[in-house]
Structure 1
Amino acid sequence: MNKKKICPHCQANMREQWIKLHLEKKIPITEIAELSGYHQDTLYIWKAKYLKHGREGLIPQSRAPHSHPNEYTNGVKSKIKLLRKQGRGICADIIKIRLKKRYDVKASRSGVAGFLKKEGLVNPKLSRRIKNKKKRVKKCKIHEPGQLIQFDVKYAFKSFADAWFYQYSSIDYLTGIAYGAIYEIQSNLEGILFTNSLLNFYPFEIKGIQTDNHATFTNRYVGYLKSSNPLNPRLHPFDLNCQKLGIEHYLIDKGKPAQNGKVERFHRTCEQDFYQREIFKDLNSARKKFRDFLYYYNNNREHLGLDGLTPLEKLKTITGFEKVKSLNP
């Protein structure tokens, strides 16, 4: 007999017909077994279920186990839910790290991810399969904090007048310590003011800043080539400020934002974990909440790129910075 897959209710109807032949027509189970192709024991089981539960007892049930010997306890499950709720949608890897760090609970990444998916705590837009990226040789070797600070600007949020506010951001290449500020406009002045504020935030000397080729950072592609004296061109105000502060200004290649990848990734985190989750009354409230977010990001949020450490913990692993207690924006 062809036993191709059919819907559960259709299977129940078919089983009921075979059992009725035995109960109503008084046909022996042995003959029904020969006609149907099912084993006698199977037919006897169907008969018992039909007599006890009726047709509902003949509907096929899932054979998957209802529990697993290594299933998380209710206490661990509640901790995973709590970490997910408090952690601004953190991923399974970070939850695994925090379970070990805060509760001394050992869990696997796949186990946490499976539980989040089962409980409907995964954003379907983000739970896509990420293709393996090609391996890249690290050409830039940074050994000291402050040796290279990646610097960029992003659209923050719109005002009630439908005008954009701008977030200036920086992140240390080695420690992952991030800093940012929200401004009303994007211009040369804001870039200079933000650069000066970095000196008061970072607990180490800043030796180099890397930016893209936006007009607020450089006139290399719009001014240098058109200068009347290309060997001695008029420098951009951002370059002049960097020279005044003793900071080397590096530029990434045109059309290659991945070279500023750390600050671009920080912008994605800001968008997902801050701007899409907060409501602002005005610019001042946004600035206050953003400072709180920066404190959480640098002091409490673990980063997979730092082997599960927070930026503060990463900084403490470097000689000379063991006594730094917190990073306050």
Structure 2
Amino acid sequence: MPHRNAPLSETGRLRLARCVVEDGWPLRRAAERFQVSVTTAQRWASRYRTHGEAGMADRSSRPHTSPRRTPTRTERRIIKVRVARRWGPARIAGLLHLNPATVHRVLVRYRLNRLAWTDRATGRVIRRYEHQAPGDLVHVDIKKLGNIPDGGGHKTLGRQAGRKTRSGAGYSYIHTAVDDHSRLAYSEILTDEKKHTAAAFWTRAQAFFTSCGITVQRVLTDNGACYKSHPWRDVLATAGIVHKRTRPYRPQTNGKVERLNRTLLEEWAYARPYRSETERRQAFPDWLHAYNHHRGHTALKGQPPASRIPNLTGQNT
């Protein structure tokens, strides 16, 4: 496709070429008529004589040969170091005695220029996916979180004083379900991660998704004991939901809910110095509502998860 300032489209080129080749116009007259140079008029006329209408299409400007391009053997060495050690361009360049700009250019060419796109354990490029419709897959996980003692922890009292109040505060377990397509989340702060607690959580989570017009088809979890239990199996089987598990020691497979766990720690759990666990828990519903309805999501082009749920508020029922 020609750029927006191009004087001739494919149709204009064809008209110019026909004026010269078929109607016998002089090149200068045709160039003046179509407001291009004589050289341009000659080029399109020559292509029309040789290739006909097909010659009016754009051609790649890539050269047939690139004598100064980095040798293939050197490119393979760069890729090998990148995959094996996950080093940046500067360190790779130092090892191979190359210019860092050359290394970066090779990594960009093979789409290895961002470490976030590669798996830290294997060095392989991460294959990202997103299901087509809400409910096709829901990610479920549990995050263990230390409780804040009354009066505040180390963020409020300081490291030394906070250490004295820490003992006996206990833990909370944040059970979370995230829809793969929309990133809509349902989450609860519960007292444990036992099988009956997890099963009861999913019953409420499914009711939430149903109220949003989402029919859950599959659920993805890790290999935790509660997700291998009979209560968990039965609650999914009763609803006709397929249960999928991640590969052992591969939390990246459940990455969408893992990323939400990190977000809620940064933007809610540790966002400000709370004076008690009760104060922090009271702030959680408002944060979760803001996440679903107002907070822009980078994977959704800056839109909140609610933008992908047409009937989230139930106004169309």
Q: Which moved more, 1:271-280 or 1:205-214?
A: 271-280
Q: TM-score, normalised by structure 2?
A: 0.51
- Secondary structure, aligned partner of 1:153: strand
> CA offsets, 1:73-127, max 9 Å, x none?
xxxxxxxxxxxxxxxxxxxxxxxxxxxxxxxxxxxxxxxxxxxxxxxxxxxxxxx
Structure 2 matches for 1:60-209, cutoff 5 A? 131-134=115-118, 135-138=125-128, 142-160=131-149, 161-202=168-209, 203=212, 204-209=214-219
- Contact 1:156/1:182, CA 8 A, preserved across alignment: no
CA distance, structure 2, for counterparts of residue 130 and residue 147 of structure 1: 29
CA distance, structure 2, for counterparts of residue 290 and residue 300 of structure 1: 15
**CA gap 1:132/1:141 in 2 versus in 1, 3 angstroms:** closer
> CA offsets, 1:181-216, max 9 Å, x none?
001122111101110111222211112111000111
CA distance, structure 1, for counterparts of residue 267 and residue 135 of structure 2: 26
Residue 248, structure 1, aligned to residue 267, structure 2? no
Structure 2 matches for 1:158-307, cutoff 5 A? 158-160=147-149, 161-202=168-209, 203=212, 204-218=214-228, 236-280=230-274, 284-307=278-301
> CA offsets, 1:212-232, max 9 Å, x none?
00111116xxxxxxxxxxxxx
CA distance, structure 2, for counterparts of residue 213 and residue 173 of structure 1: 19
State the shift of 1:132 in Å.
Answer: 4.7
CA distance, structure 2, for counterparts of residue 273 and residue 186 of structure 1: 23
Residue 311, structure 1, aligned to residue 305, structure 2? yes
Q: TM-score, normalised by structure 1?
A: 0.49
Letter aligned with residue 173 of structure 2: Y
State the shift of 1:280 in Å.
Answer: 4.8
Identity fraction in percent: 23
CA distance, structure 1, for counterparts of residue 207 and residue 312 of structure 2: 19
Name the structure with the higher helix share. Answer: 2
- Secondary structure, aligned partner of 1:305: helix
State the shift of 1:156 in Å.
Answer: 2.5
- Secondary structure, aligned partner of 1:185: coil
**CA gap 1:141/1:313 in 2 versus in 1, 3 angstroms:** closer
Structure 1 residue ranges (4+ consecutive) displaced by more than 6 angstroms after TM superposition:
none
- Contact 1:157/1:275, CA 8 A, preserved across alignment: no
Q: What are the ranges of 5 or more consecutive residues in structure 1 without an aligned counterpart?
A: 1-128, 220-235
Letter aligned with residue 182 of structure 1: I
Q: What are the ranges of 5 or more consecutive residues in structure 2 without an aligned counterpart?
A: 1-112, 119-124, 150-167
**CA gap 1:291/1:141 in 2 versus in 1, 3 angstroms:** closer
CA-based RMSD: 2.4
CA distance, structure 2, for counterparts of residue 280 and residue 189 of structure 1: 30
CA distance, structure 2, for counterparts of residue 250 and residue 302 of structure 1: 29
CA distance, structure 1, for counterparts of residue 282 and residue 137 of structure 2: 27
CA distance, structure 2, for counterparts of residue 268 and residue 130 of structure 1: 20
- Secondary structure, aligned partner of 1:287: helix
